[in-house]
Structure 1
Amino acid sequence: MPDIRHIVFDIGKVLLHYDPELPFSRLIPDAEERRRFFETVCTGAWNVEQDRGRSWQDAEALLIAEHPAHEDNIRNFRRHWHEMVPHAYDDSVALMEGLIEAGYDVTMLTNFASDTFYEARERFPFLKKPRGVTVSGDIRLIKPDLAIYRHHADAFGLEPAATVFIDDSPHNVEGARKAGWQAVHFTDAATLAADLGRLGVTV
C-alpha cells in the first residue's frame, strides 16, 4: 500500500461547526413546533438539494408553494445561515494547517451550497490554505456518490490508494473507500490525529 501523500478534508462538522438549531431556537422557540418544522418543511432532504446545486430561490419557491404559512421561516433558513456556522473547530484547523506545513498535499471535498461556501471562506480564511476544494454545489454532485470522489481525484491529480479522506459521515467515508481511497471517520481532532498516525501520517 502506498504511503499517504494526499489528505482530503470534509468541512462541515470537521473544520466548521454547523447547527440549524442555533437561529431557529430563537425563531421558533417551541421545541416541538421547531422539530416539526425541520421534519416536514425545511428537511435535510430539501437542504441537500442546495448542496447539489439547486438555487435558494428555487428551493424557497418550492417550499413556499407547499407550505405558504411557513414562508417567513422558509426564507429565514438562508437569511440566518451565518448563525448556523458560528465558529471553527480550532484543534481540527490546527491539525490541518500542521499537515500543510509538514508538506502533505491537503485539499477539501465538501457537500456545500456554492454561495454559502464562498461566504464561509471569507469568514474563515483558513479555508483558503489547502491546495484547493471541490464544492458539491459547483459541480452538481454530492457525497457519497462515487462520481464526486472520482471528480476530485481527477481534478487534483490524486492517487486514490495514496489518499486519505476525513469526514464526519460514515456514509461519506464508505463512499471514499468504494472509490479506492483510505478514509477516516471524524469524531474529534485528538482521535483524528491518532487515526492518521496509524496510517503513518504525522505532523
Structure 2
Amino acid sequence: MNTDAAKQYSNLVFDLGAVLIDWNPRYLYSKIFATAAETDFFLENICTSDWNEEQDAGRSLQDATEMLISEHPEYEAHIRAFYGRWKEMLGGPIEDTVNILKALKESNRYKLYALTNWSNETFPLALLLYPFLQWFDGIVVSGREKMRKPQAEFYELLLTRYNIDAQNTLFIDDNQRNIAGAAACGIEGVHFTSPLQLKEVLAQKSILS
C-alpha cells in the first residue's frame, strides 16, 4: 500500500522565494557589474546571504545598509542598490507553481499557508505585485516576527497561530535546511526542486490528481 496516498493531509505550507516567486540578487547586480565574476565576489563577500538573512529576521534595512557601508565604504553605491533597487531582483511569479497553488485553492480540500523568510519592510511590495498571495489562509513573515527558518520557534508560531496539527501538514521549501527544521517540529517536508517535481510528489500523496 502507498503510505503517502493513505495519509490524510489538511494543511499545506509553502515557502515563497524560489518556490512561488523568482527572487535573485543577480538580476540586479548583473546590470551593475561588468562581469559575472565581479557579481559573484560581491554577493559572496559583501552583500552575502547571511547578511540578508538578518534583515529577514527583523534587522532594519537602514541599519543593515549603514553597517555594511562602514565595513566596505568603497562599495557604498553597490550596497545602497541592494534595497534601493530591490524590485529589480524580482523575476516575477513562478507560474507553474502558482498554477499548482490555484488548483489546490480551487479544490477546497486544504488550508493553505505561507511561511517565509522575508524582510517586513520589503514584503508589502510583494503583496502588491503578486495577487496570488491573497489565496493563503495565513502568511507568517519572518521579518515581522523577528525569527526565521530554520528556528524551531518560527514553525511552532505557525502551528499555534492557526491551530495547525503538525501531523497532517505538508511543508514545501526549496532549502533542505528549512525542511530539516520543519522535520524537527514534526512537520513532513518536500524539498522543492521544480514545479514538475512538486506536482509529481503531490500526485503521489493523492493531494493532486
Question: Which band: TM-score by shorter chain?
Answer: over 0.9
Residue aligning to 1:27: 32
CA distance in 1, matches of 2:159, 2:62: 31
Q: Read off the aligned partner of 2:130 and give its amino acid letter.
A: F
CA contact (8 A) 2:7 2:205 kept: no
Contact 1:4–1:200, Cα closer than 8 Å, also in 2: no
State the 1:143 CA deviation: 0.5
SS in 2 for 1:17: strand
Alpha-carbon deviation of 1:114? 0.7
Question: Which among 153, 169, 191 is matched to residue 197 of structure 2?
Answer: 191
Matched, 1:57 2:68: no
- What RMSD in Å do the two structures reach over aligned CA positions? 1.2
Aligned to 2:165: 159
Matched, 1:95 2:100: yes
CA distance in 2, matches of 1:171, 1:149: 13
2:145 pairs, out of 139, 148, 155, with: 139
Q: Between Structure 1 and Structure 2, how many residues are aligned?
A: 203
The aligned runs of 1:68-83 (5 Å cut-off) are 68-83=73-88
Report the 3-state secondary structure (helix = DSSP H, G, I; strand = E; otherwise coil) of the residue aligned with 2:118.
coil
Per the TM alignment, residue 90 of structure 1 is displaced from its structure 2 partner at its CA by: 0.8
Unaligned runs of 5+ in 2: 1-5
2:3 is matched with which residue?
none
Q: Which secondary structure does the structure 2 equivalent of 1:107 belong to?
A: strand
Contact 1:2 1:161 in 2 (8 A): no
Task: Compute the displacement of 1:51 (Å).
Answer: 0.3
* Alignment partners' CA distance in 1, 2:45 and 2:198: 35
- Measure the CA separation in 2 of the matches of 1:38 and 1:125: 30
Tell me, which stretches of 5 or more residues in structure 1 are unaligned? none
CA contact (8 A) 1:53 1:140 kept: yes
Q: What are the superposed Cα offsets for residues 128-172 of structure 1, whole Å, 9 maximum, x if unpaired?
A: 111110000000111111111100011111100000000000111
In the alignment, which residue of structure 2 is the partner of 1:47?
Answer: 52
Distance 1:119 1:154 in 2: 27
Work out whether 1:14 is the aligned partner of 2:19. Answer: yes
Q: Taking every aligned residue pair, what percent have the same amino acid on both sides? A: 36
Are 2:61 and 2:121, in contact at CA under 8 Å, matched by a contact in 1?
no
Take 2:106 and 2:54, find their aligned partners in 1: how far apart are those partners?
35
SS at match of 2:91: coil
**Offset, 1:4:** 0.3
Letter of the structure 2 residue corresponding to residue 14 of structure 1: V
Cα distance in 1 for partners of 2:195, 2:175 equals 15
Deviation at 1:2, TM superposition (A): 5.3
